[in-house]
């Protein structure tokens, strides 16, 4: 990731979700995509908030009466990114309902296993 805000969010979530035993190294790609989508969503929402009336364009007839309305492309992008974020949040256990479906167990590998030195002593997500 090259954006510092996305990297900061990645580190924050990796620490938080890791301490909860909800993610492992196999989840780094999903977490990276989540952070990039979150950053894009945040920027689109900020743009919409700064531009009054940016969500909808009103087309008027010759007499000035509203003829039709069209949702802005930015609003559609924000909605699509919010949907993408919701799916990633559910997959990463970032909501109470998704966490209730995740079972976290401690690894059963005995410490005498010669391969145990390659794996951290942290809870694994099933």
Q: What is the pLDDT of residues 55-84, one digit of tens each?
A: 778 888 999 898 888 888 888 899 999 999
- Kindly report the pTM of this predicted structure: 0.68
| Position 125 in a domain | no
24: pLDDT strictly greater than 80: yes
- The rounded distance, in Å, linking the Cα atoms of 18 and 116 is 19
| Position 42 in a domain | yes
The residue range of the domain holding 77 is 4-106
Q: What is the pLDDT of residues 95-117, one digit of tens each?
A: 877 777 766 655 555 556 666 55
* Contact between 75 and 49 (Cβ < 8 Å): no
Strands 104-105, 124-125: pairing is: antiparallel
| Position 122 in a domain | no
Average pLDDT estimate for 6-34? 90
Beta strands in the chain (DSSP E): 56-60, 66-71, 104-105, 124-125
């Amino acid at each position: 990731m090259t954006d510092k805000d996305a990297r900061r969010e990645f580190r924050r979530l990796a620490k938080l979700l890791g301490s909860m035993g909800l993610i492992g190294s196999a989840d780094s790609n999903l977490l990276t995509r989540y952070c990039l989508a979150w950053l894009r969503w945040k920027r689109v929402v900020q743009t919409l908030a700064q531009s009054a009336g940016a969500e909808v364009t009103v087309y008027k007839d010759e007499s000035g009466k509203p003829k039709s309305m069209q949702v802005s492309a930015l609003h559609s992008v924000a909605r699509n990114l919010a949907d993408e974020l919701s799916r990633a949040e559910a997959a990463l256990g970032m909501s109470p309902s998704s966490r209730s479906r995740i079972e976290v167990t401690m690894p059963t590998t005995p410490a005498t296993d010669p391969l145990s030195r390659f794996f951290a002593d942290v809870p694994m997500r099933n």
